[in-house]
């Protein structure tokens, strides 16, 4: 590729405007360029992979679930806490999922969220208007 050209075509068919391109390497040998491009692509992929896998835990008060957990923690015994969680989730989300319910119960340290949800269903405190979505009656 000559740098005095305006454009060039990639093997994939993409047109590259050389005036806008950032030149990383200059070499007279095509085989050397292939190695340099491969190394640069590997560096870029590592950077992308690292950014995608960075875990940033949410702040304590920045989610609906944490606010509901604060309310439910003050509700009294386990049954009242579960009912409070269901009521607050229904108020704020209209319909909630098992995942929503489990997140709040985990925050307030109530084990076995699946069994707790089934208890509320059996007692007819909540119902399932759509598959996988729950709501207080």
Does the global pTM surpass 0.85? no
Are 102 and 83 in contact by the 8 Å Cβ rule? The answer is no
Q: What phi, psi does 95 have (nearest 5°)?
A: -120, 140
Q: How far is CA 72 from CA 42, 61, 91, 93, 124, in A?
A: 49, 14, 13, 16, 20
Instruction: Work out the pLDDT band at 114, boundaries 50, 70, 90.
Output: very high
Give the tens place of pLDDT for each residue, 72-103: 999 889 899 999 999 999 999 989 999 999 99
């Amino acid at each position: 590729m000559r740098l005095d050209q305006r454009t060039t075509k990639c093997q994939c068919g993409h047109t590259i405007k050389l005036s806008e391109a950032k030149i990383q390497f200059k070499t007279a040998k095509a085989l050397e360029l292939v190695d340099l491009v491969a190394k640069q692509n590997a560096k870029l992929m590592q950077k992308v992979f690292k950014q995608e896998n960075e875990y940033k835990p949410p702040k304590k008060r920045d989610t609906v679930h944490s606010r509901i957990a604060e309310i439910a923690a003050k509700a009294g015994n386990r049954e009242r806490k579960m009912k409070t969680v269901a009521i607050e989730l229904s108020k704020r989300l209209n319909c909630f999922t098992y995942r929503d319910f489990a997140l709040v119960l985990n925050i307030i340290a109530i084990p076995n969220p699946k069994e707790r949800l089934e208890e509320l269903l059996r007692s007819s405190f909540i119902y399932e208007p759509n598959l996988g979505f729950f709501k207080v009656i």
